[in-house]
Amino acid sequence: MRALYIHADSMEFESKDRTKVAEEIPEGFHKGKMEEVLVVFVTVESDDEDKIRQVAAEASKDILEVKEKIGAERIMLYPYAHLSSDLAKPKASVELLNTLKEMVASSGAEVSRAPFGWYKAFEIRCKGHPLSELSRDFKGKEERTAPKGTDTYFILKTSGEEVSVEDYKGGSDCLRFMIDKEALGKEAPSAGEPEYLRLCKKFGIQWETMSDVGHMCLAPPGAMMFDLISDYSTQIVNNSGINVYNVKGTNMFSLDEPAVKEHADLFGDRLYSINTGKKSFILRYAACHQQFAMIRGWNISYKQMPFGAFEVADSYRLEQSGETMLCFRTRRLNMPDFHIMCSSIPEAHEYFTLLDGKIYSEIENIGRDYDMLVNFSSRKAFEDNKEMVQALCVEHGRDALIHIYPEGINYYWTVNIEYHMLDQMKRPREIGTVQIDVGNAERFGITYADEKGEKQYPIILHCAVIGSIERYMYAMLDTAVQIEKGGSPGYLPTWISPEQVRLMPMSEDYVPAAKRIAADLRSKNIRVSLDDTDATVGKKVRRAKQDWCSFSAVIGDNEVQSGRLKVYVRSENKDVDMAPEDLVSRIRKETEGYPFRPMYLPFDLSKRCEF
């Protein structure tokens, strides 16, 4: 059902002539007039015919809420066939209008209804304030029933065997800890402060104390890492082999939109809400709202399927203040949100598997691996998707922890995989994710035309290949800590290192030579800095190591005369003799396929502020 609300000083109508579907009305009901009235122009659609009471209940609740909000004294329901081309049968339309009137009247509100199926003349005087004209689209959602039963956990082995978590033997450390935490409710013992926080401080990643809890700020090194990860997440999606539409949107959505409110209700008290006094808004939980709102207006054919939409979206989740964690659990996060529109479940399974492969590949690129927590909205969802999930287990050579939600809740999704890595504190941490969504296309009105020209709702895949920008940064910092635990200096991959090369003149006499080498490196898209301070050589060398420069070299007589450099390679923890062109070649090899940004700090250390 579609509706247009007008807050009016007055509304007056008169029925003139019958149409073929006109309802019978008694004498004296051909005219009507109301003042200080909320006029609701109503179009009943074909989809409403089998859920009349649900649609009427949803609409009456909203009408009464708007009436109170704007201060209208009365309500007039006005049948209006021009808000949709997909009209319900006349009998169903009249029944819904009557049901709607009864439900509104039962609250004590003064309500009238104009006749259905008559040509009518009307005169309306709209008030003209910001809320005087509103549109609505009611779908008649079913009332939620209480879930039946409890959450179910078990292990799905690569063989397809289902094993209880109590009887399961084997699996990685990560899977064992996942079983303890998720299935058995065992809290891991406290292990003190995470060591990656020391690296956060080094790279200028911290909480913003002037904001709400859980909001980060980043100094230049951290900002450089953040932006490069954002660039990389975009690059991954656009090189995925899927046709992708890159979009940009807002982060604030009105709860007056039924689709937004219904989706928001699923997340409860984890949503940020904003009340302007006239309207209530939510800050987006992910990019879903914006992408779906855009796509529902697109003209889509089966010939364009499948396709994806992508945005690195600032998203907001009202995490408990005691649970926030730098880079990992924040209230403002940036999600590389990728949604793929698929024409069928088999096609969704095909691309789900493709995304799973990319998720594993990306974590392996930084030297880590994943175990899977696979969530299903029901036992039927598990049975429908078991073959696909088991094939993924076989592909990765890993058993998976299965979680089936209690029956009785009509979730919009069927299967969701959380990809967990085990961090330095022996805690499973979710990074990547992928999900099959069977409900939001209808909720938001996203359709495509099939081969017969008939309207169909796509299946939607939700995916964050590398997780949020912050969580991928967390994974990199935790990996560096793991490297340190192995007895080597921690290091970052060269492509994301804020300073790839540090040159250190032995004295002021060698600054010109160092600058020439630096200029050549910069011209080849290498981030290079120059320690032109009056510190001793020993202090310069220690400072380069403290700043985690990937490569560093002292410039003195030998280097000037020979044209070769003795380069300290952090990842190997040793000096390597090489020519400048060898250094360029090595950096290019280590950064191939990754994005580049110039340095976010002044080139000369003497010109830098301390932070």
Encode pLDDT of 437-465 as tens digits.
999 999 889 999 999 999 999 999 999 99
* pLDDT value for 30: 85
Does residue 341 surpass a pLDDT of 60?
Answer: yes
As a whole number of angstroms, the distance between CA 611 and CA 601 comes to 11
| DSSP string of 151-184, one letter each residue | -EEEEE-TTS-EEETTT-----HHHHHHIIIIIS
What contacts 400, CB < 8 A, 6 or more positions away? 155, 156, 371, 372, 373, 374, 389, 392, 393
Q: Model confidence over 476-519: pLDDT tens digits?
A: 999 999 999 999 999 999 999 999 999 999 999 999 999 999 99
Report phi then psi at 51, rounded to 5: -145, 50
* pLDDT value for 571: 96
Q: Model confidence over 89-98: pLDDT tens digits?
A: 999 999 999 9
Helix, strand, or coil (residue 222): helix
Q: Model confidence over 305-324: pLDDT tens digits?
A: 999 999 999 999 988 878 89
Helix, strand, or coil (residue 343): coil
Q: What is the mean pLDDT of residues 57-77?
A: 91
Does residue 190 surpass a pLDDT of 70?
Answer: no
CA distances from 357 to 40, 172, 238, 353 (A): 51, 19, 16, 6
In residues, how long is the chain?
611
Report phi then psi at 434, rounded to 5: -150, 145
| Model confidence band, residue 131 (pLDDT cutoffs 50, 70, 90) | confident
CA atoms in the 13 A half-sphere facing the CB of 587: 30
Q: Model confidence over 511-548: pLDDT tens digits?
A: 999 999 999 999 999 999 999 999 999 999 999 999 99
Task: Identify whether the C-beta of residue 339 lies closer than 8 Å to the C-beta of residue 433.
Answer: no
Per the structure block, which two tokens stand in for 85?
């081309």
Q: Model confidence over 275-306: pLDDT tens digits?
A: 887 778 889 988 898 999 999 999 999 999 99
Task: Identify whether the C-beta of residue 473 lies closer than 8 Å to the C-beta of residue 368.
Answer: no
Does residue 145 surpass a pLDDT of 60?
Answer: no
Under the phi-then-psi rule, with left for phi > 0, alpha for psi from -120 to 50, and beta for the rest, what region is 410? beta
* pLDDT value for 220: 97
The most confident of 116-120, 122-126, 432-436, by mean pLDDT = 432-436
| Model confidence band, residue 354 (pLDDT cutoffs 50, 70, 90) | very high
Domain assignments of the chain as residue spans, ordered by start: 2-137, 152-249+287-477, 494-607
Residue showing tokens 């995490």: 319
Q: Model confidence over 355-389: pLDDT tens digits?
A: 999 999 999 999 999 999 999 999 999 999 999 99
Q: Model confidence over 396-407: pLDDT tens digits?
A: 999 999 999 998
Helices (H), 11-116: 52-70, 90-105
| CATH 3.40.50.720 at 152-249+287-477, yes or no | no
As a whole number of angstroms, the distance between CA 522 and CA 529 comes to 9
Considering the chain, what percentage of its residues have pLDDT values greater than 90? 78
Residue 486 CB: number of other CB atoms within 10 A?
7
* pLDDT value for 257: 81
* pLDDT value for 278: 73
Q: What is the pTM of this model?
A: 0.78
As a whole number of angstroms, the distance between CA 109 and CA 111 comes to 6
Helices (H), 71-195: 90-105, 173-178
Does residue 99 surpass a pLDDT of 70?
Answer: yes
Does residue 188 surpass a pLDDT of 70?
Answer: yes
Residue 218 CB: number of other CB atoms within 10 A?
20
575 CB burial (10 A radius; 0-12, 13-18, 19+): middle
| Model confidence band, residue 69 (pLDDT cutoffs 50, 70, 90) | confident
Cite the beta strand spans of 232-378 per DSSP E.
244-246, 252-254, 273-275, 280-283, 307-316, 332-342, 371-376
Considering the chain, what percentage of its residues have pLDDT values greater than 70? 98
As a whole number of angstroms, the distance between CA 401 and CA 418 comes to 10
Q: What is the mean pLDDT of residues 132-137?
A: 82
State the fold for domain 494-607.
Rossmann fold (3.40.50)
Identify the helix (H) or strand (E) that includes residue 133.
strand 133-137
* pLDDT value for 28: 74
Q: Model confidence over 11-42: pLDDT tens digits?
A: 999 999 899 999 988 877 788 999 999 999 99
| Model confidence band, residue 134 (pLDDT cutoffs 50, 70, 90) | confident
Report phi then psi at 365, rounded to 5: -60, -25
What contacts 96, CB < 8 A, 6 or more positions away? 1, 44, 48, 52, 55, 56, 88
* pLDDT value for 143: 52
* pLDDT value for 311: 97
* pLDDT value for 551: 98
State the fold for domain 2-137.
D-tyrosyl-trna(Tyr) Deacylase; Chain: A; (3.50.80)
* pLDDT value for 78: 93
Does residue 146 surpass a pLDDT of 60?
Answer: no
| Model confidence band, residue 186 (pLDDT cutoffs 50, 70, 90) | confident
Question: How far is C-alpha 435 from the geometric centre of its chain's CA atoms?
Answer: 12
209 CB burial (10 A radius; 0-12, 13-18, 19+): exposed
Does residue 235 surpass a pLDDT of 60?
Answer: yes
CA distances from 483 to 479, 492, 552 (A): 6, 10, 20
- Amino acid identity at 350: E
* pLDDT value for 265: 75
| Model confidence band, residue 142 (pLDDT cutoffs 50, 70, 90) | low
* pLDDT value for 29: 78
What integer best gives the mean pLDDT of the chain? 92
